[in-house]
């Protein structure tokens, strides 16, 4: 990884640092049998409902029709029906920190986060059902490795079972109500073709021998794009069945992807880095953003405006498909920002370590 962290990855490390583990010292030899991983309490008990949740650290926010849904630490999910002016807490079945959220329509959406958690909501975020956690994920990886003669696959399966449900998802994205991909730490990757009723490990399909973190994923038709550590850019042209490495103009970490309606693809990350591709990832150009800190989120507004969010809360707006950006500082001063969504025609909402903030669209 680079020397700086995006707002999202920094929050992930601070809030539940124990979720991140080290690969150093893992033995290559066949280990002795290990007991079945126990399910942590935070995966079986609902998030605590408290007025303090309104000030909790939030990591991502998305639109569900006219509603805003934000997710964050200890299973916190916040809902707003007045464009971010006020918020209330939703019912969530886990206490694991949530790092990503997306709604495919005004009612159906998914959230992912620590300990391999993936949740689904069919009532615009009011209530959630757990579809996957790290225990089930480890079992799925082990089952997929049975009969596989590949040594790496066998080693990965043993590691998942030994280490238990410790790996976080960093991003989740669906192209429709059935097809989705979730990615996370140390090459963690799962796909679904049935709306999340079943999740299938796809980490063995990725050309990522160093098990680099996967921070961002976007589905565009049958193409799947993944961005991660050390300039990693991957593409699948068959819905995630196989992947290849894309040429990368940057060797630092990418923290997310934005697929604009124009067809242009953007990857963003450390030190204000943004790269742009107009040929579906075949080639990339590096853009000048004018900010020295990491980019943590990006959205496209209804008027085809692109807005990037820096980890200090600066907003970078482009009205020419990313060829140039204008910067505006956050109202109220800098803040450790992690997520961004349009609230209405005049406002944006920012997810941050200090809770939610609304401000006028520059």
Give the list of residues 6+ apart from residue 62 with CB closer than 8 angstroms, or none. 68, 69, 101, 102, 103, 109, 341
For residue 310, being part of any structural domain is answered with yes
Cα within 13 Å of Cα(131), Cβ side: 23
pLDDT tier at 226 (50, 70, 90 boundaries)? very high
Higher confidence at residue 3 or residue 138? 138
Average pLDDT across the chain, whole number: 89
Tens digit of pLDDT for each residue in 250-267? 999 999 999 999 999 999
With helix as H, strand as E and coil as C, how does 250-317 read? CCCCEEEEEECCCCCEEEEEHHHCEEEECCCCCCCEEECCCCCCCEEEEEECCCCCEEEEECCCCEEE
Q: By percentage, how much of the chain surpasses pLDDT 70?
A: 90
Task: Give mean pLDDT, residues 6-29.
Answer: 35
Based on the structure, what is the number of domains in the chain?
Answer: 1
For residue 42, being part of any structural domain is answered with no
Tens digit of pLDDT for each residue in 268-325? 999 999 999 999 999 999 999 999 999 999 999 988 899 999 999 999 999 999 999 9
For residue 32, being part of any structural domain is answered with no
pLDDT tier at 32 (50, 70, 90 boundaries)? very low
| Model confidence, pTM | 0.88
For residue 69, being part of any structural domain is answered with yes
For residue 43, being part of any structural domain is answered with no
Is the pLDDT at 2 greater than 50? The verdict is no
Higher confidence at residue 68 or residue 332? 68
Give the structural domain span for 216: 7-17+52-132+167-360
CATH of the domain at 295: 2.130.10.10
H helical segments located in the chain: 7-15, 134-145, 151-163
For residue 244, being part of any structural domain is answered with yes
For residue 249, being part of any structural domain is answered with yes
Tens digit of pLDDT for each residue in 117-131? 999 999 999 999 999
pLDDT tier at 1 (50, 70, 90 boundaries)? very low
For residue 318, being part of any structural domain is answered with yes
Amino acid 144: pLDDT: 86
pLDDT tier at 25 (50, 70, 90 boundaries)? very low
């Amino acid at each position: 990884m680079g020397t700086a962290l995006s707002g999202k990855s920094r929050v992930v490390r601070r809030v539940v640092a124990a979720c991140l583990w080290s690969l150093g010292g893992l033995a290559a030899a066949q280990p002795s049998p290990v007991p079945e991983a126990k399910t942590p309490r935070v995966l079986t008990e609902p998030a605590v409902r408290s007025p303090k949740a309104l000030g909790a650290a939030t990591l991502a926010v998305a639109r569900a029709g006219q509603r805003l849904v934000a997710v964050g630490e200890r299973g916190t999910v916040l809902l707003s029906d007045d464009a971010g002016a006020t918020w209330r807490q939703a019912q969530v079945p886990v206490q694991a920190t949530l790092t990503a959220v997306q709604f495919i329509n005004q009612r159906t959406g998914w959230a992912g986060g620590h300990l391999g958690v993936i949740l689904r909501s069919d009532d615009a975020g009011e209530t959630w059902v757990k579809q996957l956690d790290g225990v089930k994920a480890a079992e799925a990886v082990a089952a997929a490795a049975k009969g596989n003669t590949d040594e790496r696959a066998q080693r990965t399966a043993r590691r998942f079972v030994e280490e238990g449900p410790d790996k976080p998802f960093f991003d989740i994205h669906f192209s429709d109500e059935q097809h989705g991909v979730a990615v996370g730490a140390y090459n963690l990757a799962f796909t679904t073709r049935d709306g999340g009723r079943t999740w299938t490990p796809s980490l063995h399909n990725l050309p990522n021998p160093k098990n680099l973190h996967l921070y961002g994923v976007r589905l565009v038709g049958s193409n799947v794009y993944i961005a991660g550590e050390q300039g990693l850019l991957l593409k699948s042209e068959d819905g995630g069945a196989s992947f290849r490495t894309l040429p990368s103009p940057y060797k630092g970490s990418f923290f997310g992807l934005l697929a604009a309606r124009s067809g242009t693809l953007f990857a963003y990350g450390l030190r204000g880095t943004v790269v742009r591709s107009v040929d579906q990832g075949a080639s990339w150009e590096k853009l000048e953003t004018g900010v020295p800190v990491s980019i943590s989120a990006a959205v496209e507004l209804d008027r085809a405006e692109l807005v990037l969010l820096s980890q200090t809360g600066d907003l970078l707006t482009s009205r020419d498909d990313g060829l140039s950006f204008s910067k505006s500082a956050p109202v109220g001063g800098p803040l450790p920002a992690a997520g961004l969504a349009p609230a209405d025609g005049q406002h944006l909402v920012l997810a941050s370590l200090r809770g939610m903030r609304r401000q006028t669209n520059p």
